[in-house]
Structure 1
Amino acid sequence: MAVEGIERVAIVGAGLSGVIAARDLAVAGCAVHIFEKSRGAGGRMATRRAEGFAFDHGAQYFKAHGADFAAEIAAWRSRGFATSWGEDRFVGLPAMNAPVKALADGLPLTTGFTLARIEGGPGAWTLRAEEGAVAGPFDAVLVSAPAPQTATLLAAAAPDLAQAAGRARYAPCLTLMLAFEPDDVPSPLAVPERPEHAAIAWIAEDGTKPGRLREGARRIVVNATPEFSRAHLEEAPDAIAEALLAAVAPLLGATAAPVHAKAHRWRYALVEEPVGQACLWDPARGIGACGDWCLAGRVEAAFDSGRALARTVLGEG
């Protein structure tokens, strides 16, 4: 049962933490509505499709350290939208964003809604988008954006929570998505996933993951190290792609240029300093926040934070 006085709940952000919070609150009887600035659910459990290619260009896999997330993964696997990738690693099926999309299915979700301000007051909060739309009123607002964005959005409505969110620190990550003709790179790649390299932190071929297309072009995802990412963060995407390709090409042993090369800038990628508590909640205002930045830099932390916030709102925390 929903807590008395909290029936209408807005969730800002359709990444894993926000969608999990929305699901648990909806099960408890709350009328939830998710607002997301991008085109769909997933957050950093992301899949990019361009020019006929698909890349898991955000989180590369997830693991379960605790029983709660292990049970969730088991449920995802039983429903066919997650599977194992190695001994203790899991991926979404058929793409990394599949679990979050499946969880959001059936929940009210407004996409293309970039929150500018939280207006109103306790029991009657409204959300004003940069695009001009206004949504509400809501009894509670839960923000699941990256910590710096959360701090900005909560500055006026809940300054103490904004200050707490502002303690989290991230490392950025620049990602390069490459596609080669099948015979233009070795099969399998003759480089470890985590090479000891000043610029490159991770290399993976999407076709090695279950459920991905294995025929046609060889699709490779490259993540830069935090140091390289910080040094090149503000460059134009084409310049980032060129610099990353120059760094990774000798490792790949490619015999020809890629047929596709695009860079993505994850400004808030790797949580280096979490807040140190499972979630943030101000019961007097009906304002809260969650995300991996509360606990640790992994997918499970986002799940745990979203669940913790839902339980706290419901008076179960």
Structure 2
Amino acid sequence: MAGVASKVAVIGSGISGAVCASILAKNGISVTIFESARGAGGRMSQRREHCEDGRELLFDHGAPYFTVSAGNLEVQSLVNDWESRGLVAEWKEKFGSFDFSSKKFVDIEEEGSNKRYVGIPGMNSICRALCHEPGVESRFGLGIGTMDWLDEDDAWSLRSLDGQDVGNFKGVVASDKNTFSSRFTNVTGKPPPIDLVSVSDTVLQIKEIPALPCFALMLAFEQPLSSLPTKGVSFKNSEVLSWAYCDSSKPGRSTTSERWVLHSTAEYAEHIISQTGFQKPSPALLTKVAEELFQEFQSTGLNISQPFFKKAHRWGSAFPAASVAGEEKCLWVGKKRLAICGDFCVTPNVEGAICSGIAAASKFVKALSTL
């Protein structure tokens, strides 16, 4: 079909989709990213909040940082390139573990003993840059409602959530779980765009990817929390909190206030959701959650002062609890040129998502070169 030969649609602008799109564009393939949110990032989004006095606060309320495994030269090469472009820097702060049973820090690492990378000036900076590289068109605020494979055209036809025809594409990269998983469709009231039953038996395994919910609590303090010996804390023996980190201690961040982000345990989040359902949390519920998470933080006995800003956010399905692609690192339906990629294909972290995006791009570069 004319005008479609090298066009690929990427659904989702998280790190997996953004990396895939960037590699495709560098190989001369025309890419359009469709993202239902207002900006790029997915779980690497940066949250912008305003206080009652007008002060603006920024929080990395999802993934706080990422690491690269020793020997993963492919990902390390990408990260080195981002670092040279000023998109990434190393976060050189100490992390430790706090035991709620003994009310003591039980393990504090040496500063710089683990390389942690962060986006500059926010975790979403990497995705934002990749989504605007030459050859990549990004359409934000446009969710995909239906995808249909047209045998006569050997192409995918995509329509938006409101039924608008957004074009035909030679291939599709699905990097957003909600594109094919029905686990959270009762949030939108619509079925997922891809009907996996009609696509391939080999990808049916991912129809119900197990995912762990989490509540994030964003806090801002006038003065530093000097009683905490580390800027990152994992919690042991707490049913409520899993970890906390000082967001304002990252390179490239404003230090006019000290900002912390706390993450709940999956068990706590699942308990709340079991009582309230998957619908959008009410302001009253988020206020209740914020109070409970902060009370647990204070119960450490570490002299946590009152913040001047406190707000909770729910991540309903951001943290996958399984890996579905094995050594392939993405799921590939060659006959219909459909790649499914994301951290749920490799490991449930940023590095896994990057690996999966690279793998999906490789499948398309090879497939489209033979057409």
CA distance in 2, matches of 1:298, 1:127: 29
CA distance in 2, matches of 1:109, 1:71: 25
1:204 is paired with a residue of what secondary structure?
Answer: strand
Alignment pair present for 1:290 and 2:290: no
5+ residue gaps, structure 2: 51-55, 93-111, 182-191
Alignment pair present for 1:306 and 2:357: yes
1:150 aligns with one of 152, 169, 180: 180
Residue 111 of structure 1 corresponds to 140
1:74 is paired with a residue of what secondary structure?
Answer: helix
Alignment pair present for 1:237 and 2:286: yes
Q: Which amino acid aligns with 1:255?
A: S
1:174 aligns with one of 193, 199, 215: 215
Alignment pair present for 1:20 and 2:19: yes
Change (3 A) 1:244 1:186: same
Residue 319 of structure 2 corresponds to 270
5+ residue gaps, structure 1: none
Alignment pair present for 1:57 and 2:86: no
Moved over 4 A (4+): none
The count of aligned residue pairs is 308
Alpha carbons 2:143, 2:160 under 8 Å: kept: yes
Identity %: 33
Residue 96 of structure 1 corresponds to 123
CA distance in 2, matches of 1:306, 1:175: 26
TM-score, L = length of structure 1: 0.90
1:96 is paired with a residue of what secondary structure?
Answer: coil
CA distance in 1, matches of 2:258, 2:162: 39
Residue 186 of structure 1 corresponds to 225
CA distance in 2, matches of 1:131, 1:241: 35
Report deviation, 1:159.
4.8
Change (3 A) 1:315 1:167: farther
1:25 is paired with a residue of what secondary structure?
Answer: helix
Q: Which moved more, 1:165-174 or 1:260-269?
A: 165-174
Q: Which amino acid aligns with 1:121?
A: L
Change (3 A) 1:190 1:310: same
CA distance in 1, matches of 2:303, 2:162: 46
Report deviation, 1:249.
2.5
**What do the CA deviations read for 1:91-113 (whole angstroms, capped 9, x no partner)?**
11111111111111132000111
Q: Which moved more, 1:227-236 or 1:199-208?
A: 227-236
2:348 is paired with a residue of what secondary structure?
Answer: coil
1:247 aligns with one of 292, 296, 308: 296
Report deviation, 1:189.
2.7
Q: Which amino acid aligns with 2:288?
A: A
Report deviation, 1:160.
2.9
Alpha carbons 1:6, 1:30 under 8 Å: kept: no
Report deviation, 1:199.
1.1
CA distance in 2, matches of 1:136, 1:207: 42
2:321 is paired with a residue of what secondary structure?
Answer: strand
